[in-house]
Homo-oligomer: A and B are copies of this chain.
């Protein structure tokens, strides 16, 4: 079994409405000193041993991320 961690984030310059809303809400709750909040996805995958990085990249491009507006990075989790 293999474990992978995938991070999906909005591309540079793409507006992140969830992050902007969270930043405003933190401010409303009285938290100060917040400069920016970005909210992306943290995906944990457990796969069979034969599933490799190439296949994971394909999964991200086709389903897990939207390559038009999002970047993703894949990390093999050796723990």
Contact = CB atoms under 8 A, between A and B. Distances in A.
Interface of A: 1, 7-9, 19, 22, 25-26, 29, 31-48, 50-51, 55, 58-59, 62-64
A29 to B, nearest CB: 6
A15 to B, nearest CB: 15
Copies of this chain = 2
B34 A47 contact: yes
A42 B7 contact: yes
Contacts of A46: 34-37
Nearest to A34: B47
A64 B33 contact: no
Contacts of A47: 33-35
